Structure 1
Amino acid sequence: MQQLADRLKVVQKFVPVYTPWINGTVERVNRDILQVLRVMLMELNLDTRNWPYLLPLIQANLNHSAVASLGGHAPIELFTGLPAPSLLDTVVAPVGGVTRTLSVDMSAAASHLEQLRQHLAEMHSKVIARKEQRRAYELAKAKGQTCNFEVGDFVLWSRVDKRMRGSKLLVRWVGPFRVTEALSH
């Protein structure tokens, strides 16, 4: 790049417009890394000062995970041209002054993940049902209550008389009338 800049008699400068953090990519990844760090520290019952021991695990996880923008391939797969190896399943961390190897049981994690998916699906269906119930309630409230009359019932009919003096609308009840026919609408 320097030879090209010298040849074109231009000065190469670092321009923030072309940096990846201008659109929030770096901030988004940092937020994801912090969230994963918190979860891993809680899951492995580690002290919060032991976060540096988890960084290789998280970095390997990011490098070995498929990304949609890379066509569903992992970054390490595209960088090396080889299939992505399995994720790391052990962490070496000091616990109580002694270095200890903590293993993550992936089969238990898979069953736990399936349970979590089932619970989320149940919660999702409950939320949708509740939302639909609320929508129906709001719709009924906006339209008013539906009247259910049967043939033979006696009803009163309310008329609003706008011709009366004053600013209030006066209601005049007329009837009773006997229902002779019930229509579906």
Structure 2
Amino acid sequence: MNSIFSNPESPLFGRAYAEVITERLSREKSLKFLRRGFSEVGVEVDDGELNEVVDRLDGVIGWLTYYGYSRSVGGRDLTSIFNDAINLAREELENFLKLRVSRRYRVVLKLLASGVREWGLLKRRLEDYEGSPISDRVLHDVLTTLKMHSIINEELEFTDPIVKEAARGL
């Protein structure tokens, strides 16, 4: 993140920035958030759909808001909303990957999205992809960058279920 603000070529060079950290809503708070929003705009959504949404979005406020807005204003169906959200997240990942010289990031993201989280297996699969051994440092640097950008957490899990889905399709 700091590279954007410290690069003289960037339109944001020299500008101040603030980091906003949001927490996931609990299942109960997610349902309450959606129900209240739909109530305010006079839209009825059945509990089955709300439960599915909460299960899939795992309390991420931004995606809950995206769903609520898309469902209430556009009257769109659940499948199209999720597909559009995944496409948006994929675009963001592609933009992130454009800034990385190494194709390793794409491979690691796909491996993590497929459930590979054990260090040794992750490294072996990356070596298989590259066709040659890599140092531990290489994998460490890739994972550290993904963590620094809040794409994954310390347990090598995606921090956002929609981004995880998007990474599967890279």
What range is the shorter-chain TM-score in? under 0.3
Higher normalized strand content (fraction of residues):
1
TM-score relative to the length of structure 2? 0.22
Higher normalized helix content (fraction of residues):
2
Structure ID, larger Rg: 1
Q: Which structure has more RCO (C-alpha within 8 Å, separation ≥ 6)? A: 2
